[in-house]
Structure 1
Amino acid sequence: MLENSNLHCLSAQSNVPSILSPVLIVEFLLGIPGNVVALWIFCFRMKARRPSMVYLLNLVLADFLLILSLPFRIDNLLRGEHWVFGDPFCRINLFMLAANRSASISFMTVVAVERYFKIVHPHHRINRLSVKQAAVMSCVVWALTLCLRIPLLTSQLLQEHNGTFLCRSFSSYKKLPTEIHLHYLLYVVEFILPFSVLLFCTIKITWVLKHQSMNRDWKIRHAIRVVVVITLVFAMCFGPGIVAGLTALLIKWFSPEDCASFRVVSEWFNASIAFTYLNSVLDPLIYCFSSTMFRNTLKKSINCVGLCQLEVSRSDSVTSIT
């Protein structure tokens, strides 16, 4: 357990639990069915296999695993941020949150980059990757993501404050441990680098949209819509945490005695976890936007169970880019 003497301005959150817990409950209730349905469609309903489907399947898996860790966060908040599951499971829970967040970011970026190559560099060999090669690349992404988050499993993360056990991966250390330093660095880099890539892909595809011939116009418009949706979801879900976290660090560095401001910003940072989990709720929109095949399979599945009759798009026969 971490010693309070190595922590700066440590305090339990006064407002976050009462506000955040109902939000997370709603996100869990919305995220579980959405991701279960998406996982079912990818695994059992879609017959065709393409590299893009492999990436989206891994995105579903990352979101699903992220949602599975949510009930423990909800329980923690309902108890006033008092963690009752012990130090080992505290590490495991925070490891799952960080690893699946990183995997979700990675595969969102891969989907956007794939659209970029299909539009801007249509003859590049990346566009000829087989399903097996896409699966191998996905395994590499998972392996790299899990390995980089191992420090969360080896670090002391449980903190005791006035009889309350706080399970946090982000605390203000007076002297930052090497493992936590790596965790902080990855948290910032995995936002800035992918977001820069997404902006680049959006700008380049938009440029192509204005200069390509009309016979490919529908494909380009679809691709730009996919990348824009991914970029907006990315910024909305992961941006608030980065802004609040960097603000807290600036306060600590330049005004370490101002604990009142630091604690307020820290509460904002902890509240940003709601946006992180919101990503898992919104990602099914990405599946629908990015894949005509997924969208049509979903419509067919709904029609099969007799819930309603939805028109299936004929563009499924020309989904070379979806």
Structure 2
Amino acid sequence: MASVLPPVLIIEMFLGLPGNIMALYYFCKYMKSWRTNVTFLFNLILSDFLLLLSLPFRIDNFIRGETWLFGDAWCRINLFMLAVNRSASIAFMTAVAFDRYFKVVHPHHKINYISSKQAAGVACFIWAAVIALRIPLLANNLLSTGQNHSRCRSFSNYEKLSPGLLLHYIVFIFEFFVTLMLLIFCSARITSILRSRPRLNGDKKGQRAIRTVLVIVGVFVFCFFPSIATGLTVLMLNSHRNKYCNAYNLTTELFSMSLAFTYLNSALDPVIYCFSSSLFHNYLKRTLNWTGMI
């Protein structure tokens, strides 16, 4: 695992940072109207950018064979930053999907007419919620030290979970299944409406809406399902790990490796920006044309 994860995380960081920096620059400099979808996309970009900035410490940790050199306090802060921004990224992906859902399925609903300040208020509430749910990571000792190791993990083989870490586990599992159900609901309803209304089916905004939601669903499942599948398997095998020792150890390793997929989400999210914002898509094309990349 130690030999595989560092190059994977380095690739994710160098793929994700340019796209997110470009998106932040564009939204800050060129975006004049901060509508609801723009506000949610900006916060999605911000959460991805902050997560990628936290990755170098995990890369260093794995390069050294899971030897953490930065002390207990920074271990807690680093894992807190990763968890908060991963949850925020999921939350704002869902918010973007719901914005598209209401625009297509309920075009006259009052939620489509909320002001920029109200949208900013919703974004602040999302940040406050995800931070509050991850606060226990700052209150628990997450650094496991031994003769030959110093591991910094928020998921580990604890004999007894503290209430704070139990909440961390529950949030990790439930945010996947709740979000997946909401995204499937949005994509199914948008598709159904477009099919039942021929006028909308040929509309560019309607087509962009379904493409956006489908891309979000695809990125979400690809990035988060591996960690959920292996994590739940570890939990099931935990009470029988003496009997299924090899299977338990293998699944534990696979779970640790699958967390790299969750960070990949932050590198792939610029694809969502392209599908969600035609203005950003056109800006990206102009930039790539200018640099000679296309």
Give unpaired runs (5+ residues) of structure 2. Answer: none
Partner SS for 1:69: helix
For residue 143 of structure 2, the aligned residue among 152, 158, 164 is 158
Shift of 1:30: 1.1
For residue 224 of structure 2, the aligned residue among 228, 231, 238 is 238
Match of 2:131 in 1: 146
Shift of 1:149: 0.4
- The structure number with the bigger radius of gyration is 1
Shift of 1:217: 2.5
Match of 1:89 in 2: 74
Shift of 1:309: 10
How big is each residue's C-alpha offset from its partner over 1:101-122, in whole Å with a ceiling of 9 and x where there is no partner? 0000000000001111111111
* Matched pairs, number: 293
Shift of 1:17: 0.9
Match of 2:28 in 1: 43
For residue 70 of structure 1, the aligned residue among 34, 39, 55 is 55
TM-score in terms of structure 2 length: 0.95
- State how far apart, in whole Å, the 2-side matches of 1:93 and 1:307 are: 35
- State how far apart, in whole Å, the 2-side matches of 1:70 and 1:309 are: 27
- State how far apart, in whole Å, the 1-side matches of 2:224 and 2:188 are: 20
- State how far apart, in whole Å, the 1-side matches of 2:287 and 2:3 are: 39
- State how far apart, in whole Å, the 2-side matches of 1:275 and 1:220 are: 30
Say whether 1:121 aligns with 2:106: yes
Query: Is the contact between residue 45 and residue 297 of structure 1 (CA under 8 Å) also seen in structure 2?
Result: no
Shift of 1:294: 1.7
Query: Is the contact between residue 200 and residue 206 of structure 2 (CA under 8 Å) also seen in structure 1?
Result: no
TM-score in terms of structure 1 length: 0.87
Match of 1:229 in 2: 215
Say whether 1:282 aligns with 2:268: yes
- State how far apart, in whole Å, the 1-side matches of 2:178 and 2:159 are: 28
Say whether 1:213 aligns with 2:186: no
Partner SS for 2:3: helix
How big is each residue's C-alpha offset from its partner over 1:219-275, in whole Å with a ceiling of 9 and x where there is no partner? 222211110000000001111110010000000134454332211111101101211
Q: Which letter maps to 1:119?
A: V
- State how far apart, in whole Å, the 1-side matches of 2:186 and 2:56 are: 36
Match of 2:237 in 1: 251
Q: Which letter maps to 2:270?
A: P
Q: Which letter maps to 2:279?
A: M
Shift of 1:173: 1.8
For residue 278 of structure 2, the aligned residue among 289, 292, 297 is 292
Partner SS for 1:272: helix
Say whether 1:307 aligns with 2:291: yes
Partner SS for 1:17: coil
Query: Is the contact between residue 21 and residue 78 of structure 1 (CA under 8 Å) also seen in structure 2?
Result: yes
Query: Is the contact between residue 91 and residue 157 of structure 1 (CA under 8 Å) also seen in structure 2?
Result: yes
- Larger CA deviation: 282-291 vs 23-32: 23-32
